Structure 1
Amino acid sequence: MVKHIILWTLKDELSAEEKDQVKKGIKEGLEGLAGKIPGMVDIKVNINGLASSNADLMLDSTFESEEALKGYAVHPEHVAVADGKVRPYTKIRSCLDFEV
């Protein structure tokens, strides 16, 4: 199994209300990929970080293998969510992929 963890920080120019809407859209879009990506075991997006956090939201996903993770990266449905709901609104992306 492979874990794929992403932390995002949203762009500064977004208002608090806009950030809430963006986070909800990212969560809905990414979690909506469940069952659609070959080799994806689980996908969750946390949008309710504590005030002590220095990131705005987190993707926690699990794949059967590194090959499945590579397939997810280029899967058209994932690319559509990333291009439409994530990349336009994020300024920092940190990623950690590891075997479990």
Structure 2
Amino acid sequence: MVRHIVMWKMSDEAKANDFDGKVQLLREKFDDMIGKIDGLLEIELRKNYKPGNFDVSLLCTFDSREAEEAYQTNPIHVAVKQIIGQWAVERACVDYDV
């Protein structure tokens, strides 16, 4: 199994205009991937409740490295990445074997 963790710092503009609504939209889109992307076992997007370097985090569990790699180019995921790309100013990621 593989864990894929991503954190985003969102722009001040994105946070100033219905940020909770944006987070909810992203959560729904990520949750909707379960059962539609092969090898994606778990997915969880959450908003950081403390001030810090990053505002939103994503935790995914895949059944293999190959499944995580395929996820990166899956059209469902690519569409969500485009939404996040409009709001994020910084991104950090780590992938590891479980």
Aligned twin of 1:93? 91
Matched, 1:54 2:53: yes
Alpha-carbon separation, structure 1, partners of 2:12 and 2:50: 16
Alpha-carbon distance, 1:99 to partner: 0.4
Please state how far the C-alpha of 1:73 moved relative to its aligned partner.
0.4
Say whether the 8 Å CA contact 1:10–1:19 is kept in structure 2. Answer: no
Q: Partners of 2:16 and 2:50 in 1: how far apart?
A: 13
SS in 2 for 1:13: helix
Secondary structure, in 3 states, of the residue corresponding to 1:14? Answer: helix
TM-score by length of 2: 0.90
The residue matched to 2:12 in structure 1 has which SS? coil
Percent of matched pairs sharing the same residue? 34
Q: Distance in 2 between matches of 1:74 and 1:27?
A: 19
Note the aligned Cα RMSD (angstroms).
1.4
Name the structure 2 match of 1:16: 16
The structural deviation recorded for 1:43 is 0.5
Paired residues for 1:1-100 under 5 Å: 1-47=1-47, 49-83=48-82, 85-100=83-98
Shift of 1:53: 3.2
Task: Tell me how far apart the structure 2 counterparts of residues 14 and 50 of structure 1 sit (CA, whole Å).
Answer: 16
State the Cα distance separating 1:70 from its structure 2 match.
Answer: 0.6
Which stretches in structure 2 are left out of the alignment for 5+ residues?
none
| Cα pair distance change 1:63/1:15, threshold 3 Å | closer
TM-score (norm 1): 0.88
- Where structure 1 has 5 or more consecutive residues not aligned to the other structure, the ranges are none
Shift of 1:80: 1.2
SS at match of 1:73: helix
